Amino acid sequence: MLKLNYSGFEYECGTDEAGRGCLAGPVTAAAVILPQNFNNNILNDSKQLSEIKRNNLKPIIEQEAITFAFAHIYPKEIDKINILNASILAMHQSIEQLNPNPEYIIVDGNKFKPLNNIPFNTIIKGDSKYLSIAAASVLAKTYRDAYMEKIHEEFPMYNWKQNKGYPTKEHREAIKQYGITKYHRKSFRLLPEQLQLDL
């Protein structure tokens, strides 16, 4: 059973990201403040949910949340500042859009940087422990998936609508065959034999 609150503050925000391990597309984060009476039996870590369940949960979360936001950080920036910093930046950008401002932040994982003097705590596997982090994980994943489906139309040969930019065998084969696009992260090891890849 996921818990509703960690800190005791009413405006506690949960934040999480999606797409850290992808070879293409943005890393996307979301931040959510849920009301004290929020209740949902299906909501869980987005990785545990089917795509249909995530897509069904998205409008419920958006309707019932006190406030929510998301942010994409794109490959150019990821290549410049590295994926960890890009993930944290995406979280910061989504949190800064929240209204009201959070009084406390709970973060999935173990890495975060202070933001605007708001107290925070990192929670390993937080997306399977706290509802607001689970809600953020669902929003981050659904917004990122929608973006990948959109750019799939531009470059269908990589099948991003299916693999969402993750390093599947098929995605790597397509990189081998067609090279890379403006949506690929050049700082990532795109192929096992990267030396042969003409960047």
The answer to the question of residue 194 being in a domain is no
- Within 10 angstroms of residue 136's Cβ, the number of other Cβ atoms is 37
The answer to the question of residue 56 being in a domain is yes
The answer to the question of residue 71 being in a domain is yes
Mean pLDDT of 129-150: 97
- pTM attached to this predicted model: 0.94
The answer to the question of residue 2 being in a domain is no
With a CB cutoff of 8 Å and minimum separation 6, the contacts of 85 are none
Instruction: Identify the CATH number of the domain in which residue 79 sits.
Output: 3.30.420.10
Q: Give residue 84's domain range.
A: 12-152
> 198: helix, coil or strand?
coil
The answer to the question of residue 177 being in a domain is no
The answer to the question of residue 21 being in a domain is yes
The answer to the question of residue 46 being in a domain is yes
pLDDT of residue 192: 67
CA 152 to chain centre: 18
What's the order of all strands across the beta sheet hosting 104-108? 67-73, 27-33, 12-18, 104-108, 120-123
Distance, in Å, from the CA atom of 5 to the CA atom of 20, rounded to the nearest integer, reads 26
The answer to the question of residue 158 being in a domain is no
pLDDT tens per residue across span 24-49: 999 999 999 999 999 999 998 788 89
pLDDT tier, 195 (very low <50, low <70, confident <90, very high otherwise): very low
pLDDT higher than threshold 60 for residue 164 = yes
Q: How many domains does the chain have?
A: 1
